[in-house]
A and B are shown apart, each in its own frame.
Chain A
Amino acid sequence: MFENLALTEATYYILLSLHSPQHGYGIMQQAEALSHGRVRLAAGTLYGALNAMVDKRWIVQLPVEDGSRKKNYQITELGLSVLKQELERLRELVNNGDAILGGTNASAGAAQNGKTGAAQTTGGRNNG
């Protein structure tokens, strides 16, 4: 019922970090490193998200090793398919954004002016 809905940024980065087994603090560090410091998952948010994903069987909690209190988690097959589906969706977003806004300045100017064909070159010159 919710298959077509977007994942939250936190969910996406958590699933991505759990491609190999990882504990909570490791997930926080990995998400921060992958996003060059932009995404900082706070511990309470992460805790809630991990529990929700375990309930949905997107991830599993691995058996706790002797002498360690740290809980490790890993992505499941189901979680991986959710993640891949999200990646497809994100690709579509980026491609559409690039097609309309991206590329050269001239085409961006033309898209903004709403002009077509021959007007594109003049649009580019006026802007420059």
Chain B
Amino acid sequence: MAKTITKFRWFWVWDFDKEEKWFNEMAMNGWALVSVGFCRYTFEACEPGEYIVRLEMHGVNSSDSSYVSFMEETGAEYIGRVFQWMYFRRKSELGPFDIFSDIDSKRDHLRRINKMTLIAGLTNLVVGFLNSMNGSRLSWINLVLASVLMYASGRMKGRIDALDSERLLRE
């Protein structure tokens, strides 16, 4: 069996590209992501730089299995998913590997993330508010979560706006 290591790490939702960068640094050092769980990442030994790893937030409505087999058809391997986040890797010998290649699809992706954080944020806000009305002592947890998620949404909005101003001139 191939040698593996497991690492535990927390990433904020707005840092998903930092997460991706970490995987690719690990791959450059000879550790390819092989399975994922909540804050848990398992890597297997590989040739340095053998894989390129990408992650994306997948829409709830689109069919997962047909998307995964489409990705596999293009040479990508499906690593796994955590909530709506899907993880893929592809051998770097097949050339550059990206999931999105134009401004519109990158923007759609950020909008999906923004929508998810907004829904989760508002849900926590309502639950936290109702709980505090009922005198629950733990309602502050929901309110803190709501603030974090609203902040995440603001970060996403900023990135969407930056793409929008580029999109005025290019595609």
Q: How long is the Cα–Cα vector from A116 to B69 in the complex, in angstroms?
A: 61
Residues of A within 8 A of B69 (CB): 69
Contact size range, A: 20 to 34
Stretch of A44-52, A81-89, A95-103 on the interface side: A44-52
**Are B100 and A44 in touch, CB under 8 angstroms?**
yes
Rounded to whole angstroms, the CA-CA distance of A45 and B56 in the bound complex is 12
Q: Is the CB of B70 within 8 A of A42?
A: no
Which of B24-32, B72-80, B113-121, B122-130 binds A?
B72-80
Q: CB-CB < 8 A to B108: which residues of A?
A: 48
Contact of A70 among B73, B98, B171 (CB under 8 A): B73
Contacts of A51 in B (CB 8 A): 62
How many A-B pairs with Cβ below 8 Å? 53
**B96 touching A48, Cβ below 8 Å:** no
Q: Report A-chain residues with C-beta under 8 Å of the C-beta of B67.
A: 47
A5-24 contact mask (Cβ, 8 Å, vs B): 1 or 0: 00011100000000000011
User: Is B93 in contact with chain A by the CB < 8 A criterion?
Assistant: no
Q: Quote the shortest CB–CB distance from A26 to chain B (angstroms).
A: 9
Q: Are the CB atoms of B104 and A44 closer together than 8 Å?
A: no
**CB-based contact A45/B105 at 8 Å:** yes
B102 on interface, CB distance cutoff 8 Å: yes
Contacts from B to A (Cβ < 8 Å): 56, 62, 66-67, 69-71, 73-76, 95-96, 98-102, 104-105, 108-109, 171
23 A-B pairs in the complex with CB atoms less than 8 angstroms apart: A8-B171, A23-B73, A24-B70, A25-B73, A25-B75, A28-B74, A40-B101, A42-B98, A42-B99, A42-B100, A42-B101, A43-B70, A44-B99, A44-B105, A44-B109, A45-B100, A45-B101, A45-B102, A47-B70, A49-B105, A69-B69, A70-B73, A71-B70
Q: Using a CB–CB distance below 8 Å, which chain A residues touch chain B? A: 8-10, 23-25, 28, 40-45, 47-49, 51, 69-71
